[in-house]
């Protein structure tokens, strides 16, 4: 594997020196896209938020700033990402508002029905089985809770499809594929948006509260 391929493959699970370089670039390089994604969040005041596939921790920090009364749990598969995210949010961790843990989205070890909001920025490309992983997200959300996915790729753009061919385990999903997996996992009230001039997409889905039948 050449150096370039080795470097871009660090997007999946950052490790070692190349992983540190990738994480440094992630926090700044994806900021504009992430902020565009944040603009789609519904008008809510969550108490508990989780950022899944948190990478270098920049977006967890933005969630803490956006929701000053919320606690944020950031999760990543990579030990190096956890280390970087903890350093990025060390003040909030010290104050008790932020927790960063290593975890697997296909088997989340988070409390059932705890979170008002879950976010996933630039990460579902690598999730091992969308329906199963989305089912894990559904499980940890409160009834009425929201899940937001934000990707730079809409699953059809040539640049991202090129990377898909050289990064093992990467799959660029279309909004239709994401919607179908979300529905299969139990989500409803699904909303999608495509950036006007870039292949960025945001998908919002809700764990709708079940109404009790009165007899």
The domains of the chain are located at 3-206
Q: Do residues 155 and 180 touch, judged by C-beta distance below 8 A? A: no
- Average pLDDT across the chain, whole number: 90
Residue 103 confidence (pLDDT): 97
Across 155-162, average pLDDT: 91
Residue 27 confidence (pLDDT): 72
Would you say residue 54 has pLDDT above 70?
A: yes
Residue 169 confidence (pLDDT): 84
CB atoms near residue 105 (< 10 Å)? 23
Residue 83 confidence (pLDDT): 95
Sign of the Cα pseudo-torsion (149, 98, 140, 39, in order): negative
Q: Which pLDDT band, with edges at 50, 70 and 90, does 168 fall under?
A: confident
With pLDDT > 70 as the criterion, what percentage of the chain qualifies?
Answer: 86
Residue 30 confidence (pLDDT): 79
Q: Do residues 48 and 74 touch, judged by C-beta distance below 8 A? A: no
Would you say residue 91 has pLDDT above 90?
A: yes
Would you say residue 109 has pLDDT above 90?
A: yes
Q: Which pLDDT band, with edges at 50, 70 and 90, does 99 fall under?
A: very high
Measured distance CA(206)–CA(35) in Å, rounded: 20
Left (φ > 0), alpha (ψ -120 to 50) or beta: where does 164 sit?
A: alpha
Question: β-pairing, 115-121 with 71-76?
Answer: unpaired
Residue 196 confidence (pLDDT): 96
pTM for this one?
A: 0.90
Would you say residue 212 has pLDDT above 70?
A: no
Q: Which pLDDT band, with edges at 50, 70 and 90, does 37 fall under?
A: very high
Residue 164 confidence (pLDDT): 86
Tokens read off for 203: 């998908």
Relative orientation angle of helices 31-38 and 16-29, to the nearest 10 degrees: 50
Across 81-101, average pLDDT: 97
Instruction: Order across the sheet with 188-194: list the strands.
Output: 98-102, 71-76, 48-52, 115-121, 141-151, 201-206, 188-194
Q: Which pLDDT band, with edges at 50, 70 and 90, does 2 fall under?
A: low
Q: Which pLDDT band, with edges at 50, 70 and 90, does 28 fall under?
A: confident
Domain covering 3-206: architecture: 3-Layer(aba) Sandwich (3.40)
Please give the C-alpha separations between residue 32 and each of 8, 29, 36, 105, in angstroms, as whole numbers.
Answer: 20, 8, 6, 25
With pLDDT > 90 as the criterion, what percentage of the chain qualifies?
Answer: 77
Q: Do residues 203 and 192 touch, judged by C-beta distance below 8 A? A: yes
Residue 18 confidence (pLDDT): 65
């Amino acid at each position: 594997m050449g150096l370039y391929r080795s470097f871009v493959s660090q997007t999946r699970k950052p490790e070692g020196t190349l992983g540190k370089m990738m994480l440094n670039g992630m926090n700044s390089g994806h900021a504009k896209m992430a902020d565009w994604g944040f603009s789609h969040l519904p008008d809510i005041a969550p108490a508990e938020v989780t950022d899944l596939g948190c990478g270098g921790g920049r977006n967890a920090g933005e969630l803490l700033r956006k929701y000053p009364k919320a606690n944020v749990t950031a999760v990543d598969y990579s030990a190096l990402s956890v280390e970087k995210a903890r350093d990025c949010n060390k003040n909030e961790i010290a104050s008790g508002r932020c927790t960063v843990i290593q975890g697997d989205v296909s088997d989340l070890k988070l409390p059932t029905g705890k979170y008002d909001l879950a976010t996933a920025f630039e990460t579902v490309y690598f999730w091992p089985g969308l329906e199963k992983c989305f089912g894990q997200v559904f499980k940890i959300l409160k009834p009425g809770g929201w899940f937001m996915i934000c990707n730079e790729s809409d699953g059809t753009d040539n640049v991202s499809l090129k990377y898909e061919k050289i990064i093992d385990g990467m799959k660029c999903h279309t909004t239709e594929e994401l919607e179908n997996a979300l529905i299969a996992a139990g989500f409803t009230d699904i909303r999608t948006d495509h950036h006007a001039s870039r292949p960025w997409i945001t998908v919002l889905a809700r764990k709708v509260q079940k109404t009790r039948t009165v007899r």
